């Protein structure tokens, strides 16, 4: 038997290594190529199916949302909705303790927002009154306090399900759409992902339910995880234990191992009470109290950061959320209603006792929909007793501060007046008669004039005699006040005296009438 030389052994060893590298790098990938291609295509189709299923959930949620908007609107018929909206405005003015005669309500042109979509309707509202009552008016329109609402005590999220525990028993039912506002954490730059409109999928079975579960259609796209950060020394040690020098020489360094992958734990759900967040894991975790943990794919998005564990147990751990300004607020869950107040302007009138307010009151007409067929809706009623609710106190700061009052020194005490013989009353002049309302309803213009001596209001229309002239029209253009050019007047009545046109601004007296130059006339009068 021939003896093997060292050269032969060395050549054979090198040949074996080369053959192994060739087989592992060329032959093996070629053999498994069809399998890998099939797996790739399967993963691609599974991803598409997942996206379609998520889209189906979103579509179903949107259909329920549209049905809720349809049922809670003033009406599904445009003409009826506009009429009911005007009546609702009038009743809200009365419920606020304001005078209807001192407000104008002009309907906006109905606008279809998208093709075959919702239609926006609304009114331009202008008027004046005492500041506290004006705030009551805005409160009744903006807050919709007649709808049920509850303050939230705590959150619990598991996958696409969000369970809310309320402070007091709630009146929400399965299948309803609710609005969540003030979800914690809250940030001016990025509000909480919990804030929005969701569908109730379950409530507890108690006679006075204290919890409800909402569907989060956008949740669950990526699995939430918690990752323990490793030092550079521990990373190197892990790599060395993972592969020896020969393996790294042949197959390359294990460059795919990153610090963030050490100690990954999947998150099952979260529970937030106040500024304490408890995270429940899928199985036992390897974290300890004091560890720095990186959170990913959680909702709300502001939770995705590196935090320090303050308490731990085998299947859950807790952490303290940052207690910064505007980070935590009370959260409210309420019913959904399609109306809002926008473009509010408020100016002082007669010092600070009264204010003039202008705003737009908007609503939507949606319907019929898949889950809301064409059906008559009940007229909406105003509940003035809600002005005594806790929510009204949030608006109190507006009336507690004299926003429109400039700084004035305390006046010196007045001398005691001497008795004077009574004089004969002077006859009322034009300064005692004030223009308090310039309204338009169904094409008919109306001018309301207040007699300050008698505290009575008289109604006039175009063609009537007033202030020594004949009423021509009501002008709704925004123009500077004659004596206060820094302030804008929203409307005025125009008179003709001889061949000249005169105007009296809303809120002024008949003594404040002023002549209009040709450049100040409306287009229809300037052409005469």
Query: Is the N-terminal amide bond of 300 cis, ω within 30° of 0?
Result: yes
Ranges of beta strands (E only) in 167-236 are 177-181, 196-203, 211-215, 225-228
What residue spans of 96-203 are helical by DSSP H?
131-142
Q: What is the pLDDT of residue 218?
A: 61
Q: What angle, rounded to 10 degrees, do the helices at 78-95 and 131-142 form?
A: 140
- Average of per-residue pLDDT values in the chain: 77
Judged against a pLDDT cut of 90, whether residue 123 lies above it is answered with: yes
Tokens of 62: 């949107």
CB 438 within 8 Å of CB 504: no
Residue 301 pLDDT greater than 90, yes or no: no
pLDDT (0 to 100) of residue 261: 41
Taking the CA atoms of residue 296, residue 300, residue 306 and residue 311 in that order, the dihedral angle to the nearest 10 degrees is: -100
Of 46-60, 287-301, 316-330, 468-482, the one with minimum mean pLDDT is 316-330
Pair of tokens at residue 465: 């005699």
Q: Can you tell me the mean pLDDT for 292-311?
A: 80
pLDDT band of 504, cuts 50, 70, 90: very high
Q: Nearest to residue 330, comparing CAs of 281, 376, 390?
A: 390
Contact criterion met (CB below 8 Å) for 449 and 474: no
Q: Are 205 and 190 in contact (CB under 8 A)?
A: no
The two tokens of residue 85 are: 């909206």
In residues, how long is the chain?
528
Asked if residue 234 has pLDDT above 50, the reply is no
pLDDT at 495: 92
Predicted local distance difference test score (pLDDT) of residue 2 = 55
**Averaged pLDDT for residues 337-362:** 83
* Distance from C-alpha of 302 to C-alpha of 327, rounded to nearest angstrom: 10
**Tokens at 445, concatenated:** 């213009």
Mean per-residue pLDDT for 179-196? 54
Handedness of CA 472, 473, 479, 480 (dihedral sign): positive
68 CB burial (10 A radius; 0-12, 13-18, 19+)? buried
pLDDT of residue 329: 47
The pLDDT score that the predictor gives to residue 482 is 83
In contact, 184 and 153? CB cutoff 8 Å: no
274 pLDDT above the threshold of 70: no
- Which pLDDT belongs to residue 98? 92
Q: Which residue has the higher pLDDT, 235 or 140?
A: 140
Q: What is the domain partition of the chain in residue ranges? A: 78-147+337-371+387-400, 430-526
The answer on pLDDT for 154 being more than 70 is yes
pLDDT of residue 237: 42
3-state secondary structure of 110: coil
Asked if 197 and 336 touch (Cβ cutoff 8 Å), the reply is yes
Q: How far is CA 327 from the centre of its chain?
A: 17
Q: What is the pLDDT of residues 243-261, one digit of tens each?
A: 454 554 444 444 444 443 4
**For 50-63, what is the mean pLDDT?**
78
Give residue 126's pLDDT: 93
pLDDT band at 191 (very low <50, low <70, confident <90, very high): very low
Higher pLDDT, 36 or 364: 364
| Non-local CB neighbours of 79 within 8 Å, separated by 6+ positions | none
Tell me the per-residue pLDDT of 159-186, one tens digit each, with 9 for 90 and over: 778 888 888 888 888 888 887 776 554 4
What pLDDT is attached to residue 58?
A: 73
Q: Is 89 helix (H, G, I), strand (E, B) or coil?
A: helix
Chain centroid to CA 336: 12
| pTM as predicted | 0.50
Q: What is the mean pLDDT of residues 39-54?
A: 84
- Closest Cα partner for 270 from 216, 199, 232? 216
CATH of domain 78-147+337-371+387-400: 3.30.70.60
| Position 104 pLDDT exceeds 70 | yes
């Amino acid at each position: 038997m021939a003896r093997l030389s060292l050269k032969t052994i060395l050549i054979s060893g090198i040949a074996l290594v080369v053959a192994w590298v060739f087989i592992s790098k060329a032959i093996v990938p070629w053999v498994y190529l069809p399998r890998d291609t099939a797996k790739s295509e399967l993963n691609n189709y599974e991803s598409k199916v997942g996206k379609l299923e998520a889209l189906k959930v979103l579509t179903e949620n949107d259909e329920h949302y549209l049905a809720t908007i349809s049922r809670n609107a003033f009406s599904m018929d445009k003409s009826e909705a506009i009429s009911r909206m005007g009546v609702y405005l009038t009743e809200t003015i009365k419920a606020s303790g304001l005078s209807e005669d001192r407000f104008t309500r002009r309907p906006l042109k109905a606008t279809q927002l998208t093709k075959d979509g919702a239609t926006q309707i609304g009114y331009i509202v202008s008027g004046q009154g005492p500041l506290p009552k004006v705030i009551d008016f805005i409160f009744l329109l903006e807050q919709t306090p007649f709808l049920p609402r509850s303050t939230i005590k705590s959150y619990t999220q598991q996958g696409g399900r969000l369970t809310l525990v309320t402070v007091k028993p709630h009146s929400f039912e399965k299948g309803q759409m609710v609005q969540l506002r003030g979800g914690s954490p809250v940030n001016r730059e990025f509000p909480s992902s919990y804030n929005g409109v969701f569908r109730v999928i379950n409530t507890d079975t108690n006679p006075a339910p204290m919890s409800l579960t909402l569907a989060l259609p956008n949740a669950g796209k990526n699995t939430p995880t918690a990752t323990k950060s490793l030092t550079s020394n521990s990373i190197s040690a892990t790599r060395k234990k993972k592969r020896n020098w020969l393996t790294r020489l042949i197959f390359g360094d294990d460059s795919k191992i990153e610090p963030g992958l050490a100690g990954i734990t999947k998150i099952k759900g979260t529970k937030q009470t106040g500024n304490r967040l408890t995270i429940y894991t899928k199985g036992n975790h390897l974290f300890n109290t004091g560890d720095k943990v990186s959170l990913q794919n959680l909702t709300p998005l502001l939770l995705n950061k590196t935090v320090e564990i303050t308490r731990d147990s085998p299947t859950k751990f807790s952490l303290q959320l940052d207690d910064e300004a505007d980070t935590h607020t009370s959260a409210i869950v309420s019913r959904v209603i399609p109306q809002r107040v926008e473009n509010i302007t408020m100016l002082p009138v007669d010092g600070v006792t009264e204010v003039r307010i202008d705003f737009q009151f908007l609503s939507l007409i949606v319907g019929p929909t898949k889950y809301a067929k064409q059906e008559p809706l009940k007229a909406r009623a105003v509940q003035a007793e809600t002005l005594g609710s806790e929510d009204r106190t949030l608006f109190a700061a507006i009336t507690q501060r004299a926003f429109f009052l400039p700084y004035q020194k305390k006046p010196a005490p007045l001398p005691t007046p001497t008795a004077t013989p009574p004089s004969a009353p002077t006859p009322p002049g034009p300064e005692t008669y004030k223009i308090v309302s310039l309204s338009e309803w169904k094409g008919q213009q109306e001018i309301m004039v207040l007699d300050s001596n008698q505290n009575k209001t008289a109604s006039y229309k175009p063609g009537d005699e007033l202030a020594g002239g004949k009423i021509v029209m009501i002008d709704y253009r925004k123009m500077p006040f004659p004596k206060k050019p820094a302030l804008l007047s929203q409307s005025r009545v125009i008179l003709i005296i001889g061949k000249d046109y005169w105007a009296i601004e809303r809120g002024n007296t008949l003594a404040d009438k002023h002549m209009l130059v040709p450049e100040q006339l409306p287009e229809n009068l300037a052409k005469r």
